[in-house]
Structure 1
Amino acid sequence: MTKNSHELSVKEKVGYALGDLAANLVFQTLVTYLAYFYTDIYGLKPEDAALVTLSVGLVAAFAFNPIIGAVADRTNSKMGKFRPWILYTAIPLGLASFMAFSTPGFEYKGKVIYAVITYTILLFLYAANNLPYAALSGVITGSMKERNSLSAYRFIGVMGAQFFVQVFMYDLILKAGNGNKSEGMETVMTYLAIIGTIMLLITFFTTKERIIPKPEQKSSVKEDLVDLLKNKPWVIMLMLTTLVFITLAMKGGSYVYYFENYVNQAELKAFLGPFKSILPTFENDTSFGLGVFNGGGILFGLLGIMLSKKLADKYGKRNVFGSSLFISTVFIIAFYFYPPESVGLIFGTQILHGFFYGISTPILWTMIADVADFSEWKNNRRATAIIFSAMMVGLKGGLSIGSALVASILGSFDYNADLAIQRDTAINGIKLLVSIFPAIPFLIGVGLLFLYEINKAKEIQIETELKARRVNS
């Protein structure tokens, strides 16, 4: 059932991580700028932006992902089950990424139709690429310790993409378009599409699949779905993933509004003074402040990622994930209570939030791989991709709900992209979007983890028994 050593080389870990870096150039752009692109660059009304984001996103989550998961699990080729998907979708995904953030000069109705079509294509290709990529982590190695290490490499790639998008992208959009955000977005997305495609091809050529299902293993899609519904850890992880990405999309998509409309510009300029001599020149203080704010959280998040494997190995993934998620939520809530002049507190709180959330970041996906092992251990059948596809339902559903909430809440609080100074109601809505509202899903997720049964002892039991089965077969 296995082939070759389950120990992974640094080359393979780096090659695999580049795939997540590539995917997150797309995903982090969606999390951070989708609502802003639709309302402030493309020119959609907040309610229409929310409708497009939610309707297309939920269709993609509940239709595309299960279908691709079921088909990927039944893919058989000399290249493996999941690697061919990465190869054949790399170029189309790059093209779709560019198209979805282009701004053709249609009338308003045509703009809405174009947004629906291009966003649908992008989410379909993202699912066809990223779902098999995620499932690949479950068959690269059967060692949970190696998976923890692989996940740490992988999420350094994630944080690299996040760092670029959240620190530099807003400024690059302004510079590339000479102040024209539409032209700037198209230029930046052209380069990101090319770079992402190359990275995905490197992932394909540097990885291999080691866990091979037994030849006699056969199951219908119905059987796989029944197994999922009976798999309590899977149900919890589906709900948890959805909640996590609702929060990430909600707060991540709101920071640009927060800096443009709430943070005091004079205090921001004074605070940023010492950084200007050591960092590249930004277009203005708003883009500089947003970049330093996001960058501080990401850099300290990397420190959290570096601690993640050691903590997870010692205390178990569930306990470490829940603790770090709860502490990071406390710092999210704190944003609501800061006046616009408290720039130092705003930046310091983001750093602390980033550090504690960073600890949880790699653990989510290794927990999902553990759920695939739990399913094999319990049912004596392995259905890796369909388990990961369910998690992608949570990811896409969470992204769609969170992004739609940003646009919808802004609209309900009277946000108007054409106003130089927003109304007080809109300012309060922006504050809530970076604090109280995104804290709620995180706190619910912490509660769900008390029901998750794969603790440290269960991890060891599952890994030991599956190793024995694979050797005997």
Structure 2
Amino acid sequence: MYSPNQKLSVAEKIGYSLGDLAANLIFQTLMTFLAYFYTDVYRIPAGTAGIIIFVGGLSGAFFNILMGIIADRTHTRWGKFRPWLLWTSLPFGVISLLAFSTPDFSDSGKVVYAFVTYFLLVIVYSANNLPYSALSGVITGDMKERNSLSSYRFVAVMIAQFIIQSLLLPLALSLGHGNKAVGFEKVMLFFAIVGVICFCITFLTTKERIVPPVEEKNTIRQDLTDLSKNKPWVIMLIVTILVFVTLALKGGMYIFYFKYYLDPSAQSDYLESIGFNRFILGLNETVTSLGLGKFEWPEDAPTSANSLFNAGGILFMIVGILFSKPLADRFGKRNIFGIFLALSAVCLVMFHFYPKDNIGIVFITQIVHGFTYGITIPLLWAMIADVADYSEWKNNRRATAIIFSAMIFGLKAGLSIGGSLGASILSMYGYVAEQAEQSAEAVEGIKMSVSIYPGFIFLAGAALLFWYKIDKAMEVRLETELKEKRN
């Protein structure tokens, strides 16, 4: 039976969003720092790191399909999806800590340890995040409430992204007193504790309202057949892969862009001109008085500039998210997603053409990119929930988790491809870890990895939406006809 009350309280929306805050403290770390952690902290060769990220991530990604089948067939007094948040919270925290630890093994031992911990982290992430994502499709069937829920959720994602991209590396340097390996372990321990607490809050504050009738029992074969014939699902799967290839590729390469392409003196002058160094000096006086190690920002201009660059982009992504719901409500998710994904791609391409001493224009472009991409962020997962509705409308059967499982597979595949692509590009262009001066070829590879390559992948994703049939009119039809059928 289906609950007639589809409205969500602010408390439930916040409670649900905390699950994404917890997951993204780990996910954003993987996307932004995994290649850097393997090469520059754990000292694994770049080419080997690329293979670990690709093989480990893609192998674990196939678990999503199995997890979708399991979750759709889970029956507890708490629902199908909510209990998985509780069951996986502690394993998720423990494995996250292990994946960013640096035990003193031999070179081959490091490779094995990195592969095993990364593979296990991908598995437990799937067991946690797939039911969490599917939960958004059964909390409410109201399209506007679903858009609102996605906005709350992705504000939490942006908070996690801000913490990771702006503060993680400086915090690791500070807490480790200059030792990045020790610092990463301390930061990840804190993230693991926070994550377990947040997952428990999400479990306690949410409710599954769309519940298939007891007599509705889908076979695995029916589910897979429905997927293969669901054109919007196929398109969104490919779009999801392309989006996360881009995010992993550019996210992992920004730190190299600042460290090896942009001029350190120009970065230092820019930070001084906007008052950033004075702010950090004051912050250092505070943290050292508390017994913490001094932040590296005043002496290390690339770390400072990269952190501020990420912070500016994320803050304007949050602003973009605020515009997402009203634009989607008026013009439909598909149109808004495609237009602003293309605009954000143009911003990425521009990074290739800026001179290395023009730091101001780099920051301005990041702000514009953050705003335009931010508008798309809540829409991706809301569109996937719409695909689940479309499947129910077309096939008279609901299989929420397996639809989301394919998208999480796309996410993992994209993350694996993008992360390994970044490490492979570094290796292909001749990058040497921690070498003060990189070759011209290595620098060119770094520039391409934050601009041309990710920009064109984003544009390909936007172009695919021309064949995605769930426009604004179709959204209204789905909501109306499904509501009548459920009642």
After TM superposition, is the score higher than 0.5?
yes
Shift of 1:278: 4.5
How far apart, CA to CA, are the structure 2 residues paired with 1:182 and 1:278? 26
How far apart, CA to CA, are the structure 1 residues paired with 2:90 and 2:218? 32
Question: Aligned with 2:138: secondary structure?
Answer: coil
Match of 1:98 in 2: 97
Match of 1:398 in 2: 414
1:275 equivalent in alignment to 2:288 = no
Match of 2:146 in 1: 147
Indicate which of 308, 319, 334 corresponds to 1:318: 334
> Match for 2:88: what amino acid?
T
Identity %: 56
Match of 1:127 in 2: 126
Shift of 1:219: 1.2
> Match for 1:429: what amino acid?
G
Shift of 1:342: 0.7
Shift of 1:387: 0.2
Once the two structures are overlaid, the 10-residue window that deviates more, 185-194 or 418-427, is 418-427
* 1:352-371 correspondence to structure 2 within 5 Å: 352-371=368-387
Indicate which of 448, 452, 460 corresponds to 2:468: 452
* 1:63-142 correspondence to structure 2 within 5 Å: 64-142=63-141
**What CA deviation, in whole Å up to 9, does each residue of 1:338-389 have, x standing for no partner?**
1110100111100000000000000000000000000000000000000000
Once the two structures are overlaid, the 10-residue window that deviates more, 389-398 or 266-275, is 266-275
Once the two structures are overlaid, the 10-residue window that deviates more, 272-281 or 342-351, is 272-281
* 1:49-448 correspondence to structure 2 within 5 Å: 49-62=49-62, 64-273=63-272, 274-278=275-279, 280-281=283-284, 282-284=295-297, 285-448=301-464
**What CA deviation, in whole Å up to 9, does each residue of 1:218-269 have, x standing for no partner?**
1111110110000000000000000000000000000111111111111111
Question: Aligned with 1:139: secondary structure?
Answer: helix
> Match for 1:222: what amino acid?
R
Once the two structures are overlaid, the 10-residue window that deviates more, 244-253 or 439-448, is 439-448
How far apart, CA to CA, are the structure 1 residues paired with 2:186 and 2:234? 41
Match of 2:478 in 1: 462
How far apart, CA to CA, are the structure 2 residues paired with 1:444 and 1:71? 33
How far apart, CA to CA, are the structure 1 residues paired with 2:169 and 2:353? 26
Question: Aligned with 2:137: secondary structure?
Answer: coil
**Are 2:351 and 2:450, in contact at CA under 8 Å, matched by a contact in 1?**
yes
How far apart, CA to CA, are the structure 2 residues paired with 1:384 and 1:217? 13
1:32 equivalent in alignment to 2:45 = no
How far apart, CA to CA, are the structure 2 residues paired with 1:69 and 1:179? 43
Count the aligned residue pairs: 470
Question: Aligned with 1:104: secondary structure?
Answer: coil
Question: Aligned with 2:368: secondary structure?
Answer: helix
How far apart, CA to CA, are the structure 1 residues paired with 2:337 and 2:278? 38
Question: Aligned with 1:224: secondary structure?
Answer: helix
**What CA deviation, in whole Å up to 9, does each residue of 1:114-148 have, x standing for no partner?**
01110111000000000000000000001011000
How far apart, CA to CA, are the structure 2 residues paired with 1:76 and 1:88? 14
Which runs of 5 or more residues in structure 2 are unaligned? Answer: 285-294
Question: Aligned with 2:90: secondary structure?
Answer: helix
TM-score, with normalisation over the residues of structure 2?
Answer: 0.95
How far apart, CA to CA, are the structure 1 residues paired with 2:218 and 2:13? 31
How far apart, CA to CA, are the structure 2 residues paired with 1:460 and 1:3? 20
Shift of 1:4: 5.2
> Match for 1:49: what amino acid?
A
How far apart, CA to CA, are the structure 2 residues paired with 1:308 and 1:382? 27
How far apart, CA to CA, are the structure 2 residues paired with 1:373 and 1:256? 40
Once the two structures are overlaid, the 10-residue window that deviates more, 172-181 or 267-276, is 267-276
> Match for 2:243: what amino acid?
V
Which runs of 5 or more residues in structure 1 are unaligned? Answer: none
Root mean square deviation of aligned Cα: 0.9
